[in-house]
Chain A
Amino acid sequence: MIKIRELPEEELVQGSYACAGCGGILAVRLALKVLGPETVIVTTPSCLLGVTTFYPQLAFKVPCVNVTFPSTAAAVSGVAAGLRRRGKKGVKVVGLAGDGGTVDIGLQALSGALERGDNFIFICYDNEAYMNTGVQRSGATPLGARTSTTPVGSVGRGEERPKKDMLRIVAAHNIPYAATASIGYPQDYLTKVKKAMEVEGPAYIQVLSPCPPGWGYRSDLTVKLARLAVQTGQWPLAEYVNGELTVKEIRNPRPLNEYLAPQARFAHML
């Protein structure tokens, strides 16, 4: 178990252009505290890239390799192989992509890398839509959510399909470790990052990372909503370890309304 008090003071992300209250950058900032400086980030055009690596900026204190949208995990394999060839041991290669770059366009490459069993961690910061391009729906957009491509009108009622079950998809590759997490539960999330670092082979973490402009809420509510998603049963905290799936039980679920009401994307449903 990670002790928050024992996390290093040192920040490995500094000077990003992320919006106030960005769940995505928080997910990365926290993860890097556990991953440490011997990490190489592989990422893809996304909000994360847009706010961290615009010439001459590098908001990470670790190397960052940016690749085309579909190919994060393929480049991860390449970086891992290259470092192996260079005799660099103990450097963690971490793929970082949003939900679109993971569950949609990036799925093929991710599947390939998982199936090859390369030693890497893939963190999907899931904000449930394409935020960088103006909030279009992705395969991770939840049922009913309003996005710019699932608008609400006299006919349209927001997203028509339930969210893609990515955890089961990655688990079906028989990888050693996969989990969902939420930035609202940092101790749980960072413990999972730690576990992911310790397994041999591929590890996958999908972390719920609310986005104020994309979801339409006040930017000081990010952590609260990330917690409410779990407490209302909308975001199960699950862990898949060597073939076994466990889901954290929610004893007294909060009313769903508490999670939906502050978010403009669900306003038409209330």
Chain B
Amino acid sequence: MRAYLNGNEAVAAAVKLARAEVVAAYPITPQSTIVEKIAEYIAEGSMAADYIRVESEHAALAACYGAAVTGTRVFTATSSQGLAYMFEMLHYVSGCRIPMVMAVANRGLAAPWTIWADHQDAVACRDTGWIQLYVETAQEALDTCLQAYKIAAHPEVLTPIMVCLDGYVLSHTEEIVDVPDQEAVDRFLPPYRPEYKVDTGRPYVFGVGAGPDVYPAFKFYQQQSMMKAKEVIKEIDREFANLFRRSYGGLVDPYCCSDAEVILVVMGATAGTAREVVDFMRRQGERVGLLRLRSFRPFPVEDLKELLRGAKAVAVLDRDCSFGYEGVLATEVKAALAELPARPQVAGFIGGLGGRDLTPEDLAGIFRQCLAGVRRLDKGEAIIIGGGWQK
């Protein structure tokens, strides 16, 4: 069925199709309409789930965790301060290997107080042991949520997933979305029936304490599963493509990279604009390309090396900042390429903070600066687009 849906509605549709059984959420802009829509589904009887109206985001994740350990499929969504408030619980959920899916409608963090798009919230949760997938369109948001449930629950992964969609730019913008049939989704995504669950006949403890003798083992297996997830994400994207005829390439989504002199690396909805800019500049004879990073964790080092090795320069556009250094993604791309014998120059840019528009001119400007003289830019210091008070 084709429908006009915004990103949040697309996520809600996916959660319903995935037959999530317990949803716990606390409202925060621009996430709220996801869980409002789910509440509507439950109220009208089209979705059989328990909706727990919690008093905070911390509780939302704790309630989802509690429900998940009984063997139910759960969902929550958040943004910005809400995600920051969940930080402690994020580690609990990943450490207990709960295959949960959470939508993050990305938004900047206060202060200054803001409600608009920015990746600082999710990027700051990089090391919480969650897989992070950034999507470009509402269609991809829907499809990725379905994939995410399957990836997360893969026996060799058992890791929670954040599906990250840019606030407003994606969360509140409508597009035509192909909503798959329930039967097809049921074929793709079997019910969640974990091996270990709360069962009074077979008592287990979830969230056990661990001393220095065993703690590293827990973390070792967590890391191994995260690395394994790279393969599983690709595999499940292929499986999804066979059934639904749509694929996002797994970890990365390259565009015109094979012969490009300058490649721009981005995450999220900016890729849409960037693709237009690439087309425009290609028509002018400039050899530029785009690499959209879909999976921020696990980080696709191999794919980046492979796709970026031929470029003269790589521009990384971050929608976040690691204050005192540069954009987080810029550092990571540099590290990934460090071992290449003739590694391309990497220039870091920071843009779109707190919902500032990233215009085609901004992106074309990045390409042009890199085409003109990359060496000047490769200083471990990002250029902040729109930085300084506007005159």
A binds B: yes
Chain A interface (Cβ < 8 Å from any Cβ of B):
37-40, 42, 45, 49-50, 53-56, 58, 60-68, 70-71, 73-86, 88, 91, 108-109, 111-112, 115-116
In the complex with contacts A66-B206, A85-B72, A77-B63 CB distance below 8 A: yes
B67/A63 in contact, CB under 8 A: no
B8 to chain A, nearest CB (A): 23
Q: How far is the CA of A40 from the CA of B177 in the complex (A)?
A: 43
Residues of B within 8 A of A85 (CB): 21-22, 49-50, 67, 70, 72
The one of A40, A54, A111 that contacts B198, using a Cβ cutoff of 8 Å: A40
Query: Which residues of chain B have C-beta atoms less than 8 A from A83's C-beta?
Result: 70, 198
Asked whether any CB of chain A lies closer than 8 Å to the CB of B207, the reply is yes
Residues in B with CB closer than 8 Å to A115 are 55
Q: How far is the CA of A201 from the CA of B142 in the complex (A)?
A: 37
Inter-chain CA distance A263–B61, complex, in Å, is: 41
Choose the segment among B208-216, B299-307, B373-381 that binds chain A (4+ C-beta atoms closer than 8 Å).
Answer: B208-216
Cβ contacts under 8 Å, B214 to chain A: 55-56
* Cβ-defined contact, B203 with A78, below 8 A: no
Q: With A71-B58, A109-B55, A116-B53 as given contacts, are A78 and B208 in contact (CB-CB < 8 Å)? A: no
B72, B198, B203, B211: which has the most chain A beta carbons within 10 Å?
Answer: B198
4 closest residue pairs by CB, A with B? A78-B66, A82-B70, A112-B55, A71-B62
Q: Indicate if the CB atoms of A82 and B62 lie closer than 8 Å.
A: no
Cβ-closest chain B residue relative to A54: B209
In the complex, what residues of B have CB within 8 A of residue A58's CB? 203-205, 208
Query: A55-B214, A65-B198, A66-B208 known; A79 and B67 CB under 8 Å?
Result: yes
Are the C-beta atoms of B66 and A64 separated by less than 8 Å?
Answer: no
B69 to chain A, nearest CB (A): 6
Q: Verify if B88 is at the interface (C-beta below 8 Å from A).
A: yes
In B204-250, the 8 Å CB interface with A consists of 204-211, 214
Report how far A91 CA is from B198 CA in the complex, Å.
11
User: How far apart are A116's CB and chain B's nearest CB, in angstroms?
Assistant: 7
Judge whether A78 and B58 touch: CB under 8 Å.
no
Query: What residues of A have a CB within 8 angstroms of the CB of B22 in the complex?
Result: 78, 81-82, 85
Contact of B52 among A78, A86, A111 (CB under 8 A): A78
In the assembled complex, the Cα of A165 lies from the Cα of B69 at a distance in Å of 34
Complex partner residue of B55 from A42, A60, A111, CB under 8 angstroms? A111
Query: Using Cβ atoms and an 8 Å threshold, which residues of chain A touch B92?
Result: 67-68
- B170 close to A (CB within 8 Å): no
Query: In this complex, which of B54, B56, B68, B92 has the most chain A Cβ atoms within 10 angstroms of its Cβ?
Result: B54
Interface residues of B in 36-72 (CB under 8 A from A): 49-50, 52-56, 58-72
Interface string of B147-163 (1 = CB under 8 A from A): 00000000000000000
Within 8 Å CB of A39, what residues of B? 200
| Contact A78/B24 with A42-B66, A116-B53 known, Cβ cut-off 8 Å | yes
B195 interface residue (CB < 8 Å to A): no
Give the residue name and chain of the B residue nearest to A49 (CB).
Answer: B209
Assembled-state Cα–Cα distance A115/B203 (Å): 29
Assess whether A78 is in contact with B198, with CB atoms less than 8 Å apart.
no
The residue among A37, A38, A50, A74 with the most chain B CB atoms within 10 A of its own CB is: A74
For B52, the chain A residues whose CB sits under 8 A away are 77-78, 81, 116
A56–B208 CA distance with the chains assembled, in angstroms: 8
A71-B62, A108-B55 given; 16 more Cβ-contact pairs under 8 Å: A53-B207, A53-B209, A54-B209, A55-B209, A56-B214, A58-B204, A63-B199, A67-B89, A68-B58, A77-B54, A81-B24, A81-B63, A82-B66, A85-B70, A86-B70, A109-B59
Q: How far is the CA of A70 from the CA of B88 in the complex (A)?
A: 10
Which residue from chain A places its CB closest to the CB of B59 in the assembled complex?
A: A74
A82 to B52, CA, bound (A): 11
Q: Which residue of chain B is the closest to A71 with respect to CB atoms?
A: B62
User: How distant is the Cα of A118 from the Cα of B55 in the complex, in angstroms?
Assistant: 13
